[in-house]
Amino acid sequence: MARRGSGIRLAALKAAQEAMRAEQVAQREQLRIKTEAVATVLDARAQASHVRAKGEVTIGRIREETERDAAVFDDKARVALHVLRGLAATNAEVAALVGLTAKEVREALSAPGASETDARKPTRSSDETEVSEQVKASA
């Protein structure tokens, strides 16, 4: 009987070893899946960060271009404000005409760029110049 018991024990050990191997295979598979998922998260986050950083550089470049382009119009507005200020008694009057506050008008007039002397420079279109020359010629 001792033999028979040892045969049962041997079979039980074999069954236990098979169960353990199956569990180890499942654990290795879970570890592989976890490792792959962690790697995917880290890689995706790094790529997202890179894309965002690249976007920030692009945004900065676009912002600089936009500011350069807008500066031309800021200068035109400043010249026109100087013209209006020359015709109006106060910054408040100019502000009321153009929908700004007196403070905004004062800041625009004191900002570097187009100056009051630019506003006073006579500008002539080619038609005005032509008419002026015709008047001189007839005199």
Cut 0.85: pTM above it: no
- Distance between CA 16 and CA 65 in Å, rounded? 73
- The pLDDT, as a whole number, for residue 89 is 83
CA angle 126, 129, 132 (to 5 degrees): 150
State the average pLDDT over residues 9-36. Answer: 94
- Distance between CA 87 and CA 120 in Å, rounded? 11
pLDDT at 76 over 70: yes
Q: Are 91 and 85 in contact (CB under 8 A)?
A: yes
State the average pLDDT over residues 55-84. Answer: 96
